[in-house]
Amino acid sequence: MIVGTRGSELALTQTNYIRNRLFDLTNNEVETKIIKTTGDKITTSQLYNMDSKGLFTKELDRAVLEEEVDFAVHSLKDVPTELNEDLEIAAVPIRESPNEVLVSNYSWEDLKKGSTLGTSSLRREAFCNMYEKGLELKPIRGNIGTRVEKVLDGEVDATIMAEAGLNRLGLTECIKNRFSLDYLTPPAGQGALAIITRKDSPVKDTIRKLNHYESEQEVLAEKTVLKELGIGCQWPLGSIARVNGSELSLYSILLTQKGEILHKAKLKSSIGEAEDLGKKLARDMKEFI
């Protein structure tokens, strides 16, 4: 098998995790093909100021469609809600932490008015404004290591990142604070991986063995909210679902860029009703878009 992946350290780490899992299953090595995406080539723009649909995935998905690779590994939060009709998410492996964390020499409480916080996320910007800390928000781009270095070098006082990426790269010592899921709600799919194959792929059944049902249902509920609302990162929306036994809870919050809460809602259902739960919550939120 051949896997397509982006070339960043995080993407390769995630892909190697999947390669190792597949080797354990099949005793066969998986070849890696690195593919540069549009998002990798853009280093200056705020992502929410541009059409970001498939920004980090479309070139990889094209390689799967054209059978240059057998499958691709994505961060699930980057996967558009509408896939090509010939593709599918064959597996969602067990989810890493979906939480957001602060990377800084200062704690969240000690960041004073006027402190600089680097972010290119409209959602993170909105949450910072909601808490009225008076932070100076600056655009920051680059891979995880680059953004951490910008904080350590004093280019900005702090940044907010996904805990999952820092965990996967062994950079947990850089975490100053871990935010609760309701205090700083992550984007749909954060912490999860998506393995994309062709629907007619002969390796799909093998890939499917890596699926973690609870993680799959959590992200299905979250991404359904996005799909039903028809929005992307141009709206500050946080959405998180969690499984507890046979119960699935889903919480979403919609903000303005200035940090005003437009609407928030929390619903529960059985774990097997994830898509319906996402649709129901989206109906509650639609009038605020």
| Number of continuous H segments (helices) and E segments (strands) in the chain | 9, 13
**Rounded Cα gap, residues 199 and 211, in angstroms:** 16
Cβ neighbours of 21 (radius 10 Å): 17
User: Strands (DSSP E) along the chain, which ranges?
Assistant: 2-5, 31-34, 71-75, 87-91, 100-104, 116-118, 136-138, 158-162, 175-178, 193-198, 237-244, 247-255, 261-270
Q: Is the pLDDT of residue 50 over 90?
A: no
User: Average pLDDT in the 123-134 region?
Assistant: 96
> Of 77-81, 260-264, 266-270, where does mean pLDDT reach its minimum?
77-81
pLDDT digits (tens, 9 = 90+) for 51-65: 455 556 789 999 999
Q: Is the pLDDT of residue 23 over 70?
A: yes
Q: Is 78 a catalytic residue?
A: yes
Cβ neighbours of 88 (radius 10 Å): 17
Residue type present at position 93: P
Q: Are 206 and 264 in contact (CB under 8 A)?
A: no
Q: What is the pLDDT of residue 234?
A: 76
> Of 63-77, 160-174, 231-245, where does mean pLDDT reach its minimum?
231-245
**Rounded Cα gap, residues 237 and 185, in angstroms:** 8
Q: Is the pLDDT of residue 94 over 80?
A: yes
Q: What is the pLDDT of residue 49?
A: 47
pLDDT digits (tens, 9 = 90+) for 73-86: 999 998 988 899 99
- Per the prediction, the chain carries an average pLDDT of 92
User: Average pLDDT in the 117-129 region?
Assistant: 95
Q: Are 75 and 187 in contact (CB under 8 A)?
A: no
Q: Is the pLDDT of residue 156 over 50?
A: yes
**Rounded Cα gap, residues 5 and 62, in angstroms:** 12
Cβ neighbours of 268 (radius 10 Å): 13
Q: Are 25 and 92 in contact (CB under 8 A)?
A: no
Q: Is the pLDDT of residue 165 over 50?
A: yes
Of all residues in the chain, the percent with pLDDT exceeding 90 is 84
Look at the block and give the residue holding tokens 């402190």.
115
Active-site annotation holder among 61, 70, 78, 157: 78
Q: What is the pLDDT of residue 86?
A: 96
Q: What is the pTM of this model?
A: 0.91
CA distance from start to end of the chain: 43
pLDDT digits (tens, 9 = 90+) for 195-242: 999 999 999 999 999 999 999 999 999 999 999 998 876 789 999 999
pLDDT digits (tens, 9 = 90+) for 37-47: 665 554 555 55
**Rounded Cα gap, residues 174 and 279, in angstroms:** 37
**Rounded Cα gap, residues 208 and 218, in angstroms:** 17
**Rounded Cα gap, residues 53 and 66, in angstroms:** 20
Q: Is the pLDDT of residue 25 over 90?
A: yes
